[in-house]
Chain A
Amino acid sequence: MKSTTDLARPFVDAAKDVFNSFNIETRTGISVLIDKQAENVCDLSGIIGLSGDAVGAVVVSMEGEVAKLITQKALSKDDVSKEEIDDAIGEIVNMIAGNAKEGLEEYRIVISLPTMVGGKNHTISWRTDGNKIISISFRMEGGKTFYLLLALEASR
């Protein structure tokens, strides 16, 4: 059985690659544990559930303005609508999960469709053991930050 450590790394690598591919420079911060019940300080989260040999969820959380900025970069245009932002962030989290899945090739992992959640201080019900999840910050040029939240558990 793989440990959470082995499972987490491909997701962080995938996140870096995905943002790089959109020409978004990021600096990865120190990962920390946060309480499962903690309210999310960001107001937009893209969520993807994992099932199969590894269960849990991958979430990309950010402020609305950061989401807008990322979408602008990804779509290479300034004028972006709310739908476009949701689509772009959903697609990004989908790409992260998809790329990470390839990095874990001996694992049979099924990823769900991305779901977007909005609103200040929303909470997410994490379905893994333990009472903490991993949070990794990504700082963009200009100091804006978004977070990759991971709740992972090997089920075999």
Chain B
Amino acid sequence: MNKLGEAIGGAFNLIKNLIVDFFTSGTKENELDYNKRNKIIFINIAMFISIFVLVYFSVTRLAEKEYILSSFELAFVGLIIFFLWYLRKTRKTTVTSLVTVSALFALCVYLIYTGGSYNSGSYWIFAFPIIAITFLGARGGIIYGIIMLIIGATMMYTDLHLETANYYEYRTNVSIGVYLLIFLMAITYEVANNYSNKRLMAVKNEIQSILDNIQDGVFLMDRNYLIQSTSCSKSLFDILNKESFENYTFFDFLKDSNTLEKTCESVKAHLHEVFEGNIDEELLEDINPLSSIGIDMIKNEELIKRHLNFKFKKINKDGKPFLLVNVKDITKEVLLGEKLEKEIEEGDNQIKYINQIINTEIKLVKEFITESVIDLDDINTEFGNNSDDTTKVLQDLASMAFQKIHNIKGNAGILGFENIVNKLHNTEEIVKDLRKKDDIIAEDFLEITTEIQEIGIEINKIEEIIKKLESYKLDEEKASMNDPVILTITSCIDKLNDSRSMNVKLNIERFNIHLIKDVYRKLFKDSLIQLIRNSFAHGFEEKEERIAKGKNPDGCIEIISYVEDEKLFVIYKDDGKGLNINRIKAKAKTLEEYKGVDLENMSKKEAVKLIFAPGFSTTEDVDKTSGRGMGMNIIHDYVVKKNKGKINIQSEDGVNLAFKIELPL
């Protein structure tokens, strides 16, 4: 029974399709403009009816033995069939319309001429204006209608017809009147229809241009989730990466996009609620499972991932509920958000590590890394070397791993690497359980291996940070060499070396210029230059003398800075011959200020201080070209009096001389 039903249904469908195909000349719904398709259907119907009528006429004529007329009508049938084919082939409605109307025109004239059966032939002309106007439009229809009127009236009022056709005047008047009435009504209808069509078209064009240009994907879907392809926006095709939505449901799309079954189910439940409309719209939007969904699609044979945002709104169309769906491609926003989140997380992690590293002696961290890497490698090697998988051996292996991991955890804890401690703690728990497990098998070690891999990655991160920190330090050292104070000092030494053919070296390895506050910079720059000059003038011996003394033939100046007890210390050292107390005393004797002072018996400590006395300048001994020094007394005033600092001199006669300047931070 079922098979029979199916066969009948199939046959019925086939016939239906054939009829539709015939009357539409094989055109599809969306293929042609709505109006044009209607016209094609209309022409087909008219031609179809004409064929029937003409065949009927032709047969009647044949029975009346009017062979010429009969064959004339048959020829007409042939012509119409030709144009049916022509319309199907070319879909040119203008030519076929004209042919159809002309054929009807000829038929009407012929009927008026012959009078038709029982003189009723002339009634056929009433149909003419309607058909002419529908087929040819207002303009062509009016012209043809008027011609028909003139010719028809002339033929009926005069003798221009067969004698058998009997048109008495009253009947002709009525006929013409009815014709005019139908004609006028057809014109009025056509004009009004044209006008409203134009308005409709304008609105339709506007909507179409919105749908063509809007960036969001917009479409309607019915209760069966079928996407209505006739009213969707152009960008929808691109956003959903489809070429056609015919017979395509929203869930087909979700399935094609590799969406999880679970998600599809919750979407179904959600859309059901939207259709029902029982829940507040805003609330529904809040729980929309598709407000951001990742989907996969194949584009140009490549798998791409897209993030889409769907919004649903229930609307009523022709009394049926539909969902108006708005879809946006939010891939860029989502990816940016994810990237940001990941970077923030990684950044937080890095900052934690950096914080721990700079709060710890870097050497200790390095040691921790080296030891941990060795420990982890050891575990791995032991795992790899093992070929025996008896319970005892495996338990021992787990115990070994436990000890090493515990050890690393302890060290990480001391250094404060919480992140690693947490990870190691997890691993430890896994291993702890394992070493007690009676039915332990080799496969159980997978978790340990993967955990060790992750710990390795974390330790790598710390290693990378240390590398970076160390490279910054190098950069900082390089930057220090370009500091103006250091540049001045080095160029001052270079110049003095040149002018005196000496090769004094400068050692500033332990001098950190950044420790010196901006307000002290000038003081130090000038002071150091003064001290360098003094070293060249009084300190360094001739090369031969230095060699004889067993010193390095090239002199050396070292500058050191450090901070201690909230104080800045700068030490200036040269390996010259040191302070000669006797020479200082001799110099003092020549000065007014020391007349009457018992210089002979002055202690060494006191005598050294003499170099800071005003007027005790040694500039006369220094190159005339380099008279920029402050003078030792000015250094002393500046350091001691103005900045509450101290200057300490240490000198070993014949070996070296050092100034230690102390300033509050």
Spell out A's residues near B (CB within 8 Å). Answer: 3-5, 8-9, 12, 27-33, 51-52, 105-106, 108, 110, 129-132, 134, 136, 156
Q: From A12, A30, A136, A156, name the one whose CB has the most chain B CB atoms within 10 angstroms.
A: A30
Min Cβ gap A12→B in Å is 6
Asked if A136 and B450 make an inter-chain contact with CB atoms under 8 angstroms apart, the answer reads no
Asked if A31 and B303 make an inter-chain contact with CB atoms under 8 angstroms apart, the answer reads no
Question: Please, could you name 25 A-B residue pairs with CB atoms under 8 Å apart, sorted by A?
Answer: A4-B453, A5-B446, A5-B451, A5-B454, A8-B450, A9-B446, A12-B446, A28-B441, A28-B442, A29-B442, A30-B442, A30-B449, A31-B445, A31-B446, A31-B450, A33-B449, A52-B305, A106-B262, A110-B258, A129-B457, A130-B456, A130-B460, A132-B453, A132-B456, A136-B443
> DSSP majority for the A interface?
mixed
Min Cβ gap B583→A in Å is 68
Q: What are the residues of chain B within 8 A of A52 when measuring CB–CB?
A: 296, 305
Considering only CB atoms, which chain A residue lies closest to B296 in the complex?
A: A110
> DSSP majority for the B interface?
helix
Asked if B380 and A32 make an inter-chain contact with CB atoms under 8 angstroms apart, the answer reads yes
Q: Which are the 5 A-B pairs with shortest beta-carbon distances? A: A31-B449, A28-B443, A5-B450, A130-B457, A32-B384
Min Cβ gap A32→B in Å is 4
Min Cβ gap B566→A in Å is 46
Asked if A8 and B446 make an inter-chain contact with CB atoms under 8 angstroms apart, the answer reads yes
Considering only CB atoms, which chain A residue lies closest to B457 in the complex?
A: A130
Q: In the docked arrangement, what's the CA distance between A156 and B334, Å? A: 12
Q: In the docked arrangement, what's the CA distance between A136 and B383, Å? A: 11
Min Cβ gap A66→B in Å is 17
Q: What are the residues of chain B within 8 A of A51 when measuring CB–CB?
A: 303
Q: What are the residues of chain B within 8 A of A5 when measuring CB–CB?
A: 446-447, 450-451, 454
Q: What are the residues of chain A within 8 A of B446 when measuring CB–CB?
A: 5, 8-9, 12, 31, 134, 136
Q: Judge if B397 is at the interface, Cβ distance under 8 Å.
A: yes
Known: A9-B447, A33-B453, A130-B456. 7 other contacts (CB 8 A): A5-B447, A9-B446, A12-B443, A27-B389, A30-B397, A108-B294, A131-B456
Asked if B454 and A3 make an inter-chain contact with CB atoms under 8 angstroms apart, the answer reads yes
Q: In the docked arrangement, what's the CA distance between A132 and B383, Å? A: 15
Q: In the docked arrangement, what's the CA distance between A59 and B350, Å? A: 33
Q: In the docked arrangement, what's the CA distance between A33 and B451, Å? A: 11
Asked if B453 and A130 make an inter-chain contact with CB atoms under 8 angstroms apart, the answer reads yes
Query: When A108-B294, A110-B258, A130-B460 are in contact, do A30 and B383 touch as well, CB less than 8 Å?
Result: yes
Q: Judge if B17 is at the interface, Cβ distance under 8 Å.
A: no
Min Cβ gap A90→B in Å is 20
Tell which of A105, A134, A156 touches B450, judged by Cβ atoms closer than 8 Å.
Answer: A134
Q: In the docked arrangement, what's the CA distance between A12 and B445, Å? A: 12
Q: What are the residues of chain B within 8 A of A12 when measuring CB–CB?
A: 443, 446
Fill in one digit per residue for B74-114: 1 if any A CB lies within 8 Å of its CB, else 0. 00000000000000000000000000000000000000000
Q: Judge if B260 is at the interface, Cβ distance under 8 Å.
A: yes
Q: What are the residues of chain A within 8 A of B397 when measuring CB–CB?
A: 30
Min Cβ gap B632→A in Å is 61
Min Cβ gap B502→A in Å is 54
Min Cβ gap A138→B in Å is 10
Q: In the docked arrangement, what's the CA distance between A156 and B292, Å? A: 15
Fill in one digit per residue for B391-402: 1 if any A CB lies within 8 Å of its CB, else 0. 000100100000
Q: Judge if B452 is at the interface, Cβ distance under 8 Å.
A: yes
Asked if A32 and B383 make an inter-chain contact with CB atoms under 8 angstroms apart, the answer reads yes
Min Cβ gap A107→B in Å is 9
Fill in one digit per residue for B373-389: 1 if any A CB lies within 8 Å of its CB, else 0. 00000001001101001
Considering only CB atoms, which chain A residue lies closest to B397 in the complex?
A: A30
Q: In the docked arrangement, what's the CA distance between A9 and B448, Å? A: 12
Min Cβ gap A143→B in Å is 10
Q: In the docked arrangement, what's the CA distance between A131 and B445, Å? A: 20
Asked if B450 and A3 make an inter-chain contact with CB atoms under 8 angstroms apart, the answer reads yes
Q: In the docked arrangement, what's the CA distance between A27 and B394, Å? A: 14
Min Cβ gap A2→B in Å is 11
Q: From B338, B449, B456, B460, name the one whose CB has the most chain A CB atoms within 10 angstroms.
A: B449
Tell which of B294, B441, B442, B450 touches A4, judged by Cβ atoms closer than 8 Å.
Answer: B450
Q: From A5, A28, A129, name the one whose CB has the most chain B CB atoms within 10 angstroms.
A: A5
